[in-house]
Amino acid sequence: MNAIHKLAAPATVALVLGAAALNGCGDDPAGTTDVADATDTSEVDDLTGRSVYRLETTFNDAPLVLDRDLTGKDQYFAFGSTHIAPAVAFTMTDSVTFPRTMAVTLNFGIVVASDSLPIQTDSARVYAFSASPPNVDVFVGGLQYSSKEPGATGQIDITTWSIETGEPVSGTFSGTLVAEGPTGRTLPVSGTFYFTLPEKNAGQPQ
């Protein structure tokens, strides 16, 4: 079994493309384009301190799989935001050029509230796809597919949750995303994630 799939045990076990993560909140790592890692995690039993995810989909009737190891690459994560402090938001944005040009985001939204910004993701539990975070977004084939769009069905099951640097956030997601605009296109997705929270962006309370 691929170690990324071992989500029942926290010690053994992140997706918005865009110019701005979290609807404009958080530092923007967009523009970082990569080639999908060929890292074999099948023999990894302990993901402590790691940041990895797996996405499976079918596009143009062909299977498409990303296995990504983002460990130590904090540019893929926006944790906090200088312009919403003392609120804290969290998202992961990844873009690749192989096996095809695409981008994946897992957006948890506001994870620490302020007087004007309520928490959007607050604990380890199942979150049905909806207009509110957490959200899954995939940009592929020139279209943005999202769990926020009307008609999207599925869920994000967060099995390990924290808001502290160095601690893990992990879980699974599955369902059908809907393309933005009047195309009527849909995209089936499933996957797993295990992220080790990075240092908060500048401007957040320590």
Q: Measuring CA to CA, which residue among 201, 160, 175, 176 is closest to residue 50?
A: 160
Residues 145-157 pLDDT 10s: 999 999 999 999 9
- Structure-model confidence comparison of residues 72 and 203, the more confident one: 72
Residues 31-54 pLDDT 10s: 445 554 444 444 456 899 999 999
Residues 149-203 pLDDT 10s: 999 999 999 999 999 999 999 999 999 999 999 999 999 999 999 999 999 886 5
In Å, how far are 7, 49, 66, 100, 179 from 13, measured between CA atoms?
5, 11, 17, 27, 30
Tokens of 179: 């393309």
What's the CA angle centered on 172, arms 82 and 69, to 5 degrees? 65
Tokens of 62: 């062909």
What's the whole-model pTM score?
0.79
Give the pLDDT score at 21: 34
